[in-house]
Amino acid sequence: MNIANNWKDYEILDMANGEKLERWKNIILIRPDPQIIWKDKSFPEKWKKANAVYKRSKSGGGGWDYKTKLPQSWQIKYNDLTFNIKPMGFKHTGLFPEQAVNWDWMINKIRNSKREIKVLNLFAYTGGATVACLSAGASVCHVDSSKGMVSWAKENVIASKLQNKPVRYIVDDVIKFVNREIRRGNKYDAIIMDPPSYGRGSSRRSMAI
């Protein structure tokens, strides 16, 4: 397993009782994480500094319990990449920091190829991988079925000052879009896929690849 240990603006401060205590720049959040099966906190004092806690409700949903007033969004940096963080439903913040090892891997592959690279980013969410690949010099086609997520990805591209790089945003179901690209004969050098455990697209057809 590769560990994302190049972060400065993000840090896991402690973990216990199915919860993770994380620092996102200067804001501290507590979020549920079922993988944290041990009970004892290593730093009980640090938990008192949390700005917000995501609490699961018994009915399956949940919500943020704000301990202090928080901005609606704030920025964190990973090297030259800048991301807008927002506490959202389903405990999301708009970024999976552990993906940074994959961003580093993609950046190295693209830079070392010494040629033009065309990337297709499927289930592209808020554009972590899109921003990383653009920063390395690739062109990116960013596909997600959620209009809101695609807008957020655009914000992250702008925040990272990459808006003049070759990026195409597509709000569509991945299966529909990929089938269209196959019919059009469009090819890519690299395809990134990080699908969720359940989809939000409309198509039930299988992918013809």
Ligand X SMILES: C[S@@+](CC[C@H](N)C(=O)[O-])C[C@H]1O[C@@H](n2cnc3c(N)ncnc32)[C@H](O)[C@@H]1O
Q: Verify binding: residue 194, ligand X, rule CB under 6 A.
A: yes
Q: Measure the CA–CA gap between 209 and 207, rounded to whole angstroms.
A: 6
Minimum distance from residue 176 beta carbon to ligand X (Å): 8
Q: Measure the CA–CA gap between 88 and 125, rounded to whole angstroms.
A: 13
Q: Is 97 helix (H, G, I), strand (E, B) or coil?
A: helix
Residue closer to ligand X (CB basis): 29 or 174: 174
Q: Verify binding: residue 145, ligand X, rule CB under 6 A.
A: yes
Minimum distance from residue 75 beta carbon to ligand X (Å): 16
Q: Measure the CA–CA gap between 71 and 141, rounded to whole angstroms.
A: 31
Q: Verify binding: residue 103, ligand X, rule CB under 6 A.
A: no
Give the sign of the dihedral formed by CA 169, CA 174, CA 176, CA 177: positive
Q: Verify binding: residue 204, ligand X, rule CB under 6 A.
A: no
Of residues 85, 149, 162, 178, which one binds ligand X by CB under 6 A? 149
Minimum distance from residue 37 beta carbon to ligand X (Å): 23
Q: By CB under 6 A, name the binding residues for ligand X.
A: 96, 99, 123, 125-126, 128-129, 144-146, 149, 173-174, 194, 196, 199-201
